[in-house]
Amino acid sequence: MIARSHQLTKAVVNLDKERKALAETEAKQRLEISKKRVGLAKGVMDDNFRLLANHSLVAVWSGLESTMNQFSETLINANPKVLQCGEFKKIKVPIAEYEQLADEDKPRFALGCLQRHIGSQHKPGVSKFEAILKCLNISGSVPQNVKDSIYEMSQVRNLIVHNRSIIDLKFLKKLSRGYKKSW
């Protein structure tokens, strides 16, 4: 019985040592992971949060495009007679394709056709939106500073998405400001 008690005590001591060793190993692993995370965070901060800023700008531009599309679709839905005027009259689509759409999908389809017809997706800055709104009989003036900011945002967005954020001669020619480093 005493021998068994001694074996049991040894087993408990060994188990406690193993637990401590495992806890030390886990602590070292966690410390290494934390050091890597600190290094990554430092890298992001040293880069002035460029990646975050780039993603944010692309998201803001996407939100602007989406909002303008929803607004335009709402205008078409509220006033379907606009489809019988101006540029819409020049658009040719298979009638069967249009008629098969659910009523709520028709404004989006019509807007997409209009965008392709007038090439608005290739227009820079606010021109992209003004071209569509003009076809929907909506017009107004946009302050020059807003036009300039939206134009710059569209160009920087294109640089981020299509040129890996690398400033090139094409970008520099489009913007009058002096850019010296990538976004």
Map tokens 């406690």 to a residue. Answer: 16
**pLDDT per position as a tens digit, 3-58:** 667 676 777 677 777 788 878 888 888 878 877 887 777 776 676 778 888 899 99
Domain ranges (residues) in the chain = 1-46, 50-174
The token pair at 174 is 């489009």
- What is this structure's pTM? 0.68
One-letter amino acid of 175: L
Structure tokens at 102: 């659910």
- Cite the DSSP H helix spans in the chain: 2-46, 50-78, 86-90, 95-99, 106-118, 127-135, 144-162, 169-174
What does DSSP assign to residue 105? G
Q: What are phi and psi of 37, to 5 degrees?
A: -65, -40
Helix pair 144-162, 50-78: axis angle to 10 deg? 120
Q: How does pLDDT run across 110-163, given as a tens digit for each residue?
A: 999 999 999 999 998 999 999 999 999 998 999 999 998 899 999 999 889 888
Position 171 confidence tier, pLDDT thresholds 50, 70, 90: confident
181 falls in which pLDDT band (50, 70, 90)?
A: very low
